[in-house]
Structure 1
Amino acid sequence: MEQPRLDIERKLTVQPELFLVVEDEERSTSARIIGTVMAGYDGHRGWLYYLATARSHRHQGIARSLVREAERLLLDMGCPKVQLMVREGNEEALGFYDDLGYERFSVSNTGRRLIVDA
């Protein structure tokens, strides 16, 4: 099974209300996903993950709306701040978050996998 699919399945068992999906409303026969964001709140801070918009629907405000809705949901949970990680060199994403008022931090991230997905 692909990694994103496993991540989605896991998310749907923990705070599923913080997994947001936008579907193309113009398609009449089958829904087509055109945007997603996954958020989480651990009692200290909120996090955003997997923000994505279909290439065909970029620059229409979908990603901005998803971020703002995720922020609203986190705030409703009492979340005082939200953070996210952007891969080094992804200046387009960093610029997007700059425009939304996000502050850049100089930090080092470390991690360790507890479940190895095949």
Structure 2
Amino acid sequence: MLFLSQFTGKFEQEHFDAIWYLLNNQSLEAENYFQYNFVFEGDEQIVDYLGKFETLQNDFDEICKRISIPHQQLPHENRTQHPDYRDLYCSETKDLVQSKFRKDIELLGYSF
């Protein structure tokens, strides 16, 4: 989601309120808003492997194995403590995100 890049630092409830506003007031018809367009054609996955930030080290380990390079530990800098993002959505924002990004959520295996 391109508009998320404008938020830096600690996520607070007001950030999610701003996301709700943007989702309601910004056209999401452009193809680059939806992640599935980068990894699927129709329902067919067009990449060899799909790693996720949430499991970055494990997925990187798998990629190293697949391309036959030595395992490397990725650094984790600027670590922060924050609540699970799902806890910051109000029910209205959660419903809006689930509606607008339903295909991303389903095809990429995410859930609320």
The TM-score normalised by the length of structure 1 is 0.28
The TM-score normalised by the length of structure 2 is 0.28
Which structure has more strand as a fraction of its residues? 1
Q: Pick 1 or 2: higher relative contact order, CA cutoff 8 A, min separation 6.
A: 2
Determine which structure has more spread, i.e. the larger CA radius of gyration.
Answer: 2
Which structure has more helix as a fraction of its residues? 2
